Structure 1
Amino acid sequence: MTSSDVPDNRWSDLERPPLNVSALRRALVRPGSLWTSLDVVATTGSTNSDLAGRAAELDEGAVLVAEEQSAGRGRLDRQWSAPARSGLFLSVLLRPGPEVPLQLWGWLPLLTGVAVATGLSRAAGVDTALKWPNDLLVTVGGTERKAGGILAERAGDDAVVVGMGLNVSLREDELPVPTAGSLALAGAVSTDRDPLLRAVLRSLEQWYGDWRAAGGDPRDSRLQEAYTAGCATLGRKVRAELPGDTELVGEAVAVDGDGRLVVAGEDGMQAVGAGDIVHLRPV
């Protein structure tokens, strides 16, 4: 049998082994933990869609991981794709209420960004910057590139599904666009997805727990301070493309208490929410 006759199975790329589900469950699903279940599927369309569809029957802290996504989505239904086992593609189910007022739930994608950046700094030795509102940036050859993204979606009245996709081992010739990046290309000390996933989920558990204990207050939980410190958008001139073919050009100066980006433009300060932005580009 030649190599071309070998079926594509979970061990077909020895440089990209499958996740160790039992070890991940032992490490993360334990008494007192936020994480109540963890499942890994070989392939699916979208972990966000799958988890949202089962939200009513699942406890908070359910985690769904896919080795490959065929219809991964970013904000505004933009597509996200990568080779099997080349990254981390997962969604988690959260129920912030009643401790956190509904108007503060918009902080969840920003909180997840801070948690992912914190976890990757520890486990991969890579500095990850945050592009408001939901992109994860790494530096490759002195240039910022997008290595991941976050998408938070309501699931019924009381739940939010937060999904994240992160390029881990993608090589240059595998990138979907030249502006994309990966942890490997950024010089990560490890591209072993098991410890990376553990680090990300433990970091998310800590940040989410502190935020909820503070009633969702971004200042008391130190979330606003941490996001501001890691946000690459701040201090730069940006062009925000808004619905209705309008745009706002100015310097991104702050993230306010509701998680909105404050832009200093010709007409003064204006705060824009993630739901109001079609594109946010540097000028």
Structure 2
Amino acid sequence: MTPRDAADDNPANDGDSAGRSRWSYLDRPPLNATALRRALVRPGGLWSEVEVVQRTGSTNADLVAAAEAGEAAEGAVLIAEEQSAARGRLDRRWTAPARSGLFFSVFLRPGDVPVARWGWLPLLTGVAVATGLARSAGVDTALKWPNDLLVTVDGQERKAGGILAERAGDGVVMGVGVNVTLRADELPVPQAGSLALADAVSTDRDPLLRAVLRSLEDWYGRWRDAGGDPAAAGLQEAYAAGCATLGRRVRAELPGDRSLVGEAVAVDGDGRLVLATEKGVQEPVGAGDIVHLRPA
């Protein structure tokens, strides 16, 4: 991988073009790339390469380009301290202050799993991130189908992160963004949240990232060992247990100004959200069909 502006482990090398100095890192210290590699890259493990860059447009865009050029092995991890063109689902844009969160992408190549089951990868990543953060940050992280991470701030559910999946050659790049230390005055919208605002017991990004990536390695291994069968891997049950969408009445806004209203009753074997409508019919909706999913 060769994303621009790659960083070494010395924060003083970041320069002062933006008015920074070595002392500006005390509030939000940089990730320790060497320690992350030592902890995560091991023989027989999933993670093959861990790279940290100071800033880039989008870790997903960089890793997709590397994968399509044949320059990324499965298990490559690209982490950015800051992104200038971060993207969410449906190409929605978002920004966050440097070193205020976990912004990373991983390249997965589940060639032994039928492609029809790859749609579970974003949901798998959500379960892995929520599990890792619960253990390392002590924050109860819920999942909003299909790709949002929720935390509770002042008694209200708020979005603290999201997941983006993109095909890249013979694999998939999974992008994750989690707000860690964002303060209330830094939130992009009032409905957003962060681990700090949710009273996390730790906001040290190094152990948080290690916990999340180890959790992702574990869940990905279970899923592959089960041939991508979400039920056999325990993934379907785990996702349902952590999904805040289930049991609620929602409006699925679809392309062409269409909408579907009903109670979210299940996530089926294909990862689709099943809505029980007022007509007594259960309608499955795929993530690719949704423009917005809102409370009804």
Decide: shared fold, TM above 0.5. Answer: yes
The TM-score, its normalising length taken from structure 2, stands at: 0.92
Query: Quick one: which amino acid aligns to residue 86 of structure 1?
Result: S
SS at match of 2:25: coil
Is 1:114 paired with 2:114?
no
**Cross-structure match for 1:45:** 57
Is 1:149 paired with 2:148?
no
Q: 1:67 aligns with which of 81, 84, 87?
A: 81
Is 1:102 paired with 2:85?
no
- Of 8-17 and 76-85, more deviation after overlay is shown by 8-17
**Cross-structure match for 1:190:** 202
Query: Quick one: which amino acid aligns to residue 258 of structure 2?
Result: T
**Cross-structure match for 1:240:** 252
SS at match of 1:57: coil
Structure 1: segments with no counterpart, 5+ residues: none
SS at match of 2:282: strand
| 1:146-225 matched pairs, under 5 angstroms | 146-156=159-169, 158-225=170-237
Q: Is the 8 A contact 1:113 1:134 kept in 2?
A: yes
SS at match of 2:119: helix
1:215-268 deviation line (CA, Å, top 9, x unaligned): 000000000000000000000000000011100001000000000000011231
Identity %: 77
SS at match of 1:250: strand
Q: Is the 8 A contact 1:10 1:17 kept in 2?
A: no
Q: Is the 8 A contact 1:228 1:234 kept in 2?
A: yes
**Shift of the alpha carbon at 1:131?**
0.0
Is 1:35 paired with 2:27?
no
- Take 2:286 and 2:193, find their aligned partners in 1: how far apart are those partners? 26
Indicate how the Cα distance of structure 1 residues 29 and 269 shifts in structure 2: closer, same or farther if over 3 A, else same: same
Q: Let me know the Cα RMSD of the aligned residues.
A: 1.3
SS at match of 1:253: strand
SS at match of 2:24: coil
Indicate how the Cα distance of structure 1 residues 250 and 159 shifts in structure 2: closer, same or farther if over 3 A, else same: same
The TM-score, its normalising length taken from structure 1, stands at: 0.96
Query: Quick one: which amino acid aligns to residue 100 of structure 2?
Result: S
Indicate how the Cα distance of structure 1 residues 78 and 225 shifts in structure 2: closer, same or farther if over 3 A, else same: same
Query: Quick one: which amino acid aligns to residue 166 of structure 2?
Result: E
**Cross-structure match for 1:87:** 101
Indicate how the Cα distance of structure 1 residues 89 and 11 shifts in structure 2: closer, same or farther if over 3 A, else same: farther
**Shift of the alpha carbon at 1:133?**
0.1
Q: Is the 8 A contact 1:47 1:64 kept in 2?
A: yes
- Take 1:238 and 1:177, find their aligned partners in 2: how far apart are those partners? 21
**Shift of the alpha carbon at 1:9?**
4.7
Q: Is the 8 A contact 1:250 1:265 kept in 2?
A: yes
Structure 2: segments with no counterpart, 5+ residues: 1-15
- Take 1:9 and 1:249, find their aligned partners in 2: how far apart are those partners? 53
**Shift of the alpha carbon at 1:5?**
10
Structure 1 runs of 4+ aligned residues shifted over 4 Å read none
Indicate how the Cα distance of structure 1 residues 14 and 229 shifts in structure 2: closer, same or farther if over 3 A, else same: same
Q: Is the 8 A contact 1:10 1:18 kept in 2?
A: no
**Cross-structure match for 1:137:** 150
Query: Quick one: which amino acid aligns to residue 220 of structure 1?
Result: A
- Take 1:6 and 1:160, find their aligned partners in 2: how far apart are those partners? 34
Is 1:274 paired with 2:287?
yes
**Shift of the alpha carbon at 1:15?**
1.2
Q: Is the 8 A contact 1:11 1:17 kept in 2?
A: no
SS at match of 1:117: helix
